[in-house]
Every structure is written in C-alpha cells, then in structure tokens.
Structure 1
Amino acid sequence: MTARRAGVPLVHPGPVAAERIVSVPTSVSVVRAELAPGTVVSQGLWALTQAAGCQSASAELAHGCFGTLRYVHPAIGTDGERPATFSATVEPAAPGFVVSGTATVGTRDGAAFTHLHATWLDGEGRLRGGHLLPETTVGVVPIQVTLRAQHDVALLSEADPETSMPAFTPHPVASDSNSGTRAVMSRVRPGVDLHDAVAEIAARAGFESAIVRASLGSVVGARLRSGAGRTVEADWPATEFTTLTGTVTGTDGGPPEVLLTGSLVDLNGHVHSGVVLPGQNPVAVTFELYVEEAAHG
C-alpha cells in the first residue's frame, strides 16, 4: 500500500501515460485589464483572450472582490479508486476580497472553459482559498487581471484516463504572431516534482533564465519553508496551488537553480504560503505550468 503522506506520489486508477510533461512553446502577448462589477470571471477572461486573437491564456488576478462566489477544495477520494477528489460546494456570503488568483483559459467540448484558483479575505477578515466554480462573478470592486495570451497554443480540457479527472492539455496551433516574448505552456502529470518539471521545461526551451508565474494545479499534500528552519506540511492527498511564482537560472551549464514560492489550499480549506521545497512536491493530479523566458538587459 502506498504511504498516505505528503510528498509520496499518488497511485491513480488508470493507465500511466508515457509522456509526463506535455509542453508547447509559444509567443505571448501580455494584456492588462480590469474586470467590471457583475462580470462572470470566466467569461471576462475568455473575452480578453479572444480579443488578443488567441485560444488560450494564463492569467493572474489581484485586488477587487468577488460577488457570487462558489468554490470547492481538495478532499480524500471516496469511490475506492481515486485517491483525491473535491469537497462539497462552499458558498460563502459575499463579498470576498481578492488576495491573489490564477486562471488557465481554454476550451472544453468546444466551448470556453476556465480553471480558476484564488485566495481571498471574507467579510470577517479570514483568509480563504479554493477552486472557483464557473458562475463566480466580480463584486462591486473591479478585479485587476494580467493575462498572458498564447498565440501558438490551444488548451483543451478533456477527461484523463489516468486520473479519471478532467485536465487541460496544450496542443500546438499555427500562428503568425511576431511577439517578442517567448514562453512554454505545459501540462505536468502525476508524480513529477515541481522543481524537476520547471528545470526540464526551461532547459528544453533553451531559456538561459526563466520566470514561472500564472501557474496552478495540485501536489501531494505540500511541503513548504515558511521562515528560517520552519517547514509547513499540508495534509495528504492533495493540495491546490492558487499561485505559483518563481525563477530559473543557470540552465546553460550544470544543474539549474530553481526557486519557487506559492500559496495553496489544503483539504481542510486552510491556506498556506511559503517557499516550495525541492524534491518534495510531486504533482497529485495535474499542474498547468507557465514558464516564460526572462528578459535580459
């Protein structure tokens, strides 16, 4: 029996795919905007993506507040097959004041679809976080968005035979974009350590240095450093990152240096933040990883 603790890869019910990291290089256009009060967040992000002439994007949310807010967080699987699933839907009273959020924008079954994680402060000042459902709207304070529209990628959300859960996968599409920003959009499958994935993606792309941002997904529990000598361990089986930000240097010779920081929500609905410990955070179900070539100058 597999150990039920943070950092130990999960065993899923389906066949294990041979390709553990699916990556598509792309040129990127950066769009900065506000989502107006009353906007359905997922629809607003899709409109920005389409306006940039793209089928997919990675976005970061900040400030503002949510109006209608329904969400779930990780839970232990109850069907005897899947080790991890989602909690019952939580619907707190509005407003929820946005601390941070990350979204992947693409399509499912031919229609627009957004995968959105966020953290926020509720009306009592408590920090909350989770996987937001599609009907989530903007409240009375507009939400700021930084969206990275991907010209050479189509992100399709489909059922995954390995995990029996849906996941976004990047696919290449033809583009005539001349954007100077180079990036790679990747899907990381279960069991791959986050640091290893970031290092491999940057090296494959030929990025001498890179940044990680606008990325979300789940790891097995989680192990973080939060202060000198202090390690935070979130509960098994899955913890969902609401933000992941970091840097990669030294890919052109010797082992690269990868520094990742993030905020995440555990199966109790608690939010944790810190430096992600290398070699101790394998992907639980899927991770949508955006790696961008660092600017030189």
Structure 2
Amino acid sequence: MDNLRIQAVFDEASHRIAGRLMKDVDLFEGIKEVCRYYDVESAHFQCFGSLQYATFVQMERGDEEGSVRYSEKIRSTSPVELLSGSGFIGYGEDRELDIHFHGMMIDCDRQINGGHFLNGENPVAVTIEYVIFPINGVGMQRGVDPHWGLPVFQFSKRSGS
C-alpha cells in the first residue's frame, strides 16, 4: 500500500506491517485503513511522530472511595510530538474496526502529557511512523465490562485458529 496519504509494507517473514501516515491523516483512521487493506481484524500497534493536536481523556478519581472516571475531553493547545503510543485494534460494538490507544506526548511549550486518545481527533502534523503486529488467533470485540459499565475489548480465541 503506497499512496499520497499512507505508506504501508507487509513483511512476510515477521507478519508485521510497517509504514507511515502523512500530514492531515487522522491517526486512528489511517491505522484502520491499513488494517482494512491487509485484512487485519485484531492487532497490537506502536507508533510515534507528530500531531497537529492531540485529543484525549485521562483517568481521575471518582466521587466515591475507590472509584474512577474519565475526564472531559482534553485537546492540546499546540502541535505535539507523540513520544510513545501503543494500542489494540479490534471490533467495536458496531462491528466496525475500533482502536484502544494510549500515548505520551510533549507540546510546543515542552509540557509532557498523555492519556487515552479519542477516535477521529488526532491529525498528523508531519509524520506518524508505526508498526502493526497482527494477532491472527485472537478475536477482540468491545463489550461492556460488568464492574465499570464501560465498553472494553473482550479477548477470545478466534474460531478456526
């Protein structure tokens, strides 16, 4: 796969995909496009690079002792260097490809921040370089966690594997 927006190369020996997302491509949408192209249904991926801005939430203490919740949406006020990012690719409750991704970044004011990134709100500034590690024998499907009531990936052995 090589176009004006995304580069991706499948390595037959390691069964990994490496490449880059170019300016203006959304981080999640670009990774999902690569996965669709190579028929990847579940995977782990790592990446770093730069974003025009980052949109994420962070864990915070809940109202009751021992409880937690997520913050309101946070959007960086400048471009950021994504120092480290890691995520899983699976299926959402809508049966479409979905990503669960956490990253650490530094902004133009040299402030380090990070958290749980949000879908469709992290456009590339210069480049994002990535490696996707397909997981062929495992199914990942979002389902509601019974304790927290949040949709999280549920892991299962894929039939036929």
SS of match in other structure, 1:142: strand
Q: Return closer, same or farther for 1:41/1:175 CA change in 2, 3 Å cut-off.
A: farther
Question: For 2:37 and 2:158, how far apart are their aligned partners in 1?
Answer: 17
Q: Deviations over 1:172-224 (max 9, x none)?
A: 22468xxxxxxxxxxxxxxxxxxxxxxxxxxxxxxxxxxxxxxxxxxxxxxxx
Q: Tell me the equivalent position of 1:88.
A: 72
**Structure 2 letter corresponding to 1:169:** Q
Question: For 1:69 and 1:53, how far apart are their aligned partners in 2?
Answer: 28
Asked if structure 2 preserves the Cα contact closer than 8 Å seen for 1:38 and 1:139, the reply is yes
Question: For 1:68 and 1:128, how far apart are their aligned partners in 2?
Answer: 12
Q: Tell me the equivalent position of 1:40.
A: 26
Between 1:85-94 and 1:166-175, the stretch displaced more is: 166-175
The runs of 4+ residues in structure 1 deviating greater than 6 Å are none
Q: Tell me the equivalent position of 2:125.
A: 140
Distance apart, 1:48 and its partner CA:
2.0
SS of match in other structure, 2:75: coil
**Structure 1 letter corresponding to 2:71:** S
1:169 aligns with 2:154: yes
Distance apart, 1:164 and its partner CA:
1.7
SS of match in other structure, 1:141: strand
Gaps of 5+ in 1: 1-27, 177-297
Distance apart, 1:74 and its partner CA:
0.7
SS of match in other structure, 2:126: coil
Q: Tell me the equivalent position of 2:15.
A: 29
**Structure 2 letter corresponding to 1:84:** V
Q: Tell me the equivalent position of 2:38.
A: 52
Q: Tell me the equivalent position of 1:131.
A: 116
Question: For 1:129 and 1:38, how far apart are their aligned partners in 2?
Answer: 21
SS of match in other structure, 2:74: coil
Q: Which has the higher strand share?
A: 2
Distance apart, 1:54 and its partner CA:
2.1
Distance apart, 1:131 and its partner CA:
0.8
Question: For 1:162 and 1:90, how far apart are their aligned partners in 2?
Answer: 25
Larger radius of gyration: 1
Asked if structure 1 preserves the Cα contact closer than 8 Å seen for 2:79 and 2:108, the reply is yes
TM-score (structure 2 length as normaliser): 0.82
Higher relative contact order (CA 8 A, sep 6+): 2
Q: Deviations over 1:204-251 (max 9, x none)?
A: xxxxxxxxxxxxxxxxxxxxxxxxxxxxxxxxxxxxxxxxxxxxxxxx
TM-score (structure 1 length as normaliser): 0.46
Distance apart, 1:68 and its partner CA:
3.7
Question: Which of 62, 67, 74 is the matching residue for 2:52?
Answer: 67
The percentage of counterpart residues that share the same residue type is: 18
1:122 aligns with 2:101: no
Paired residue total:
147
**Structure 2 letter corresponding to 1:30:** R
Asked if structure 1 preserves the Cα contact closer than 8 Å seen for 2:44 and 2:88, the reply is yes
Gaps of 5+ in 2: 1-13
